[in-house]
Amino acid sequence: MQTEITLRELIEKRFNPRHLELANESHQHSVPVDSETHFRLVVVSDAFSGVRKVARHQMVYQAAAELIEGPIHALAMHLYDPEEWSSRNTPAPDSPACLGGSLSESRSVNDSKSGD
């Protein structure tokens, strides 16, 4: 849970969010139990006012660079300024379903290629 705590602290410190949701979605992917590799992040911050969506993502990538280079494999981001958030009639979108193969499928394919 250290990665999740560290990411939350980084986002809180850098963006002083009015609203913050951080969910570890690793269990929905083909990773070991208790992994911290896939996260969904919803942030509402004044820091995003007047900033293009791509630039908002770049701001978060910069703030969390060490984690993204390390343990975090995927970070689904939904970033809003306060006005955008208050005008929404629905919550932030859910993350899409994982389309990757399982670890066991990868091993079976590799085993069959090697002739084992």
In which element (H, E) is residue 40 found?
A: strand 38-44
pLDDT for 37: 67
For residues 114 and 8, give the distance between their C-alpha atoms in angstroms, rounded to a whole number.
43
Instruction: Read off the pTM.
Output: 0.75
Q: How would you write the pLDDT of the chain (116 residues) with one tens digit per residue?
A: 798 899 999 999 999 999 999 988 765 555 555 656 678 899 999 999 999 999 999 999 999 999 999 888 778 899 999 999 999 877 776 666 655 654 444 433 333 333 43
CB 13 within 8 A of CB 20: no
**Two tokens, residue 10:** 């980084």
Which among 10, 40, 45 has a CA at the least distance from the CA of 24? 40
**Residue 33, SS3?**
coil
The closest of 80, 67, 81, 15 to 36, measured between CA atoms, is 67
Residue 30 pLDDT: 59
Res 86: pLDDT: 92
- What is the model's pLDDT at position 44? 97
DSSP 46: G
Q: How many CA atoms lie within 13 A of 45 on its CB side?
A: 22
